[in-house]
Amino acid sequence: MINKCHQYKKREGRDFFVCILFLLFFIIHTKLQKSIELQVLEVHDTYLILQDLKYSNDYRVHLVGKESTDFNVGDLVIVTYNGAVEDTEPASLGGVTEIKLLKK
């Protein structure tokens, strides 16, 4: 009986540890992602040129899981990314994970 209780506690501790690791991974992954609202300035086959209306910064964003025909000049989008902003002209957003259309 004592052996069974010990095995149960051992399994329970392992499950708790796995849950904590999963929670930490989720928190870190979520904090690393950033989102920015932008307006479409130009539509190309594999990328978009977008502008931050608040600061007038332009960005080049490669299309992720979308076709260029999904977007039109003037559309508002939210771009979620987890990489760096590359110092190019226009700036490139690294690690884009989603481009979500807000309005047409």
In total, the chain counts a number of residues equal to: 104
Question: Counting Cβ atoms within 10 Å, is residue 82 exposed (0-12), middle (13-18) or buried (19+)?
Answer: middle
The pLDDT of 30-39, averaged and rounded, is 81
Question: pLDDT digits over 58-73, tens only?
Answer: 999 998 777 888 899 9
pLDDT confidence of residue 37: 94
- The pLDDT-based confidence of 87 (bands split at 50, 70, 90) is confident
- The pLDDT-based confidence of 50 (bands split at 50, 70, 90) is very high
Answer yes or no: is pLDDT of 32 > 80: no
Domain ranges of the chain: 1-32, 34-103
Q: What is the CATH number of domain 34-103?
A: 2.40.50.140
